[in-house]
């Protein structure tokens, strides 16, 4: 919640949910002084920081609670692209912190109880003094270009007709660039070169950071790993399919590539 006028809530479930006000888009997170105003009580709360100079807190709700009148629980994934980026990132932070809090109630080493350390976002085992910080899992996403075309892929969970980019988690002992080359080869069967950093984006599903790269096609024929993808194919810049929403780093990578081509054509 943003005290005195805002809240971000999540339900105690495996997926990420947020409480939103019903009504016409854009979706709005309710702005209240406390959950009592909505007739709700929290399982646990966490301090998030500030938004527009207002202190913000997250509140985890029981999984079986009903949304108050005039409100609805909305999947965090469905908020993506429907609220401004700052608010989405705050909702994502709320879920990540609540997820960390919920799954770290006892020590994984000795089974002792965990206590919040007051001066930082950390839990410490009262028995063995082992510290637990919120986990962040690095994952890469890459735009692969070959002249006027790029490689786009489809995952089964994508909306009909939408394509995205190759992505995957970084493995232990692996560099980011090594992850790019490995994931591209495993999922599509092609080689890449000239791997370059583009940017990054928090991705709260449940605790990732997406690290964006560009790369150039270096050879090979597409061989789709059907355990990961439905399809992978080349698309010419003049024949783009449905793409991820503009707020996503996938779309930012694609838009930047398209803009470079337009600038070159104009010159």
Closest among 77, 192, 219, 200 to 141, alpha carbons compared: 200
Annotated binding site for Zn(2+), which residues? 107, 110, 125, 128
CA dist., res. 136 & res. 132, Å (int): 12
3-state secondary structure of 121: coil
| Neighbour-count burial for 195-228, b at 16+ CB within 10 Å, e otherwise | beebeebebbbbbbbbbbbbbebeeeeeebeeeb
What's the pLDDT at 224?
97
Segment 147-159 shows an average pLDDT of: 96
DSSP 204: T
The answer to whether residues 89 and 208 touch, using CB atoms and an 8 Å cutoff, is no
- Contact partners, residue 151, CB within 8 Å, separation at least 6: 144, 165, 166, 188, 190, 217, 222, 232, 233, 234, 235
Annotated binding site, which residues? 77, 107, 110, 120, 125, 128, 133, 167, 183, 187, 228, 250
Average pLDDT for the chain: 87
Share of the chain above pLDDT 70, in %: 90
List, for residues 138-151, the tens digit of each pLDDT value: 999 999 999 999 99
What's the pLDDT at 12?
45
> Does residue 10 or residue 160 have the better pLDDT?
160
What's the pLDDT at 175?
98
pLDDT at 245 over 60: yes
List, for residues 24-80, the tens digit of each pLDDT value: 565 677 777 788 888 898 888 888 888 888 888 888 888 888 888 888 888 777 777
Closest among 152, 153, 167, 158 to 237, alpha carbons compared: 152
List, for residues 77-90, the tens digit of each pLDDT value: 777 777 777 888 88
Annotated binding site for substrate, which residues? 77, 120, 133, 250
- CATH 3.90.79.10 corresponds to the domain 137-266: yes
Residue ranges per structural domain of the chain: 8-103, 104-135, 137-266
pTM across the whole model: 0.80
DSSP 100: H
Closest among 69, 87, 70 to 79, alpha carbons compared: 87
Encoding tokens for residue 143?
Answer: 């735009």
């Amino acid at each position: 919640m943003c005290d005195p006028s805002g809240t971000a809530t999540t339900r105690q479930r495996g997926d990420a949910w947020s409480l939103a006000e019903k009504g016409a888009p854009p979706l709005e997170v309710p702005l209240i002084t406390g959950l009592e105003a909505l007739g709700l009580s929290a399982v646990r709360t966490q301090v998030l920081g500030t938004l527009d100079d207002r202190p913000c807190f997250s509140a985890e709700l029981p999984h079986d609670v009903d949304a108050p009148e005039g409100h609805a629980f909305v999947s965090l994934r469905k908020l993506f692209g429907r609220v401004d980026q700052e608010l989405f990132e705050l909702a994502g932070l709320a879920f990540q912190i609540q997820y960390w809090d919920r799954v770290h109630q006892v020590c994984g080493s000795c089974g002792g109880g965990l206590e919040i350390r007051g001066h930082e976002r950390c839990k410490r085992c009262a028995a063995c003094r082992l510290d637990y910080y919120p986990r962040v899992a690095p994952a890469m996403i890459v735009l692969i270009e070959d002249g006027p075309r790029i490689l786009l892929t489809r995952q089964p969970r994508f909306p009909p007709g939408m394509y995205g980019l190759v992505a995957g988690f970084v493995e232990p002992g692996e560099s980011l660039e090594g992850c790019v080359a490995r994931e591209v080869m495993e999922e599509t069967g092609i080689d890449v070169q000239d791997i370059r950093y583009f940017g990054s984006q928090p991705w709260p599903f449940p605790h990732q950071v997406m690290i964006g790269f560009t790369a150039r096609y270096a050879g090979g024929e597409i061989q789709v790993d059907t355990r990961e993808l439905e399809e992978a194919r080349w698309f010419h810049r003049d024949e783009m399919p449905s793409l991820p929403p503009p707020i996503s780093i996938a779309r930012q990578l694609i838009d930047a590539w398209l803009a470079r081509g337009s600038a070159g054509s104009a010159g």
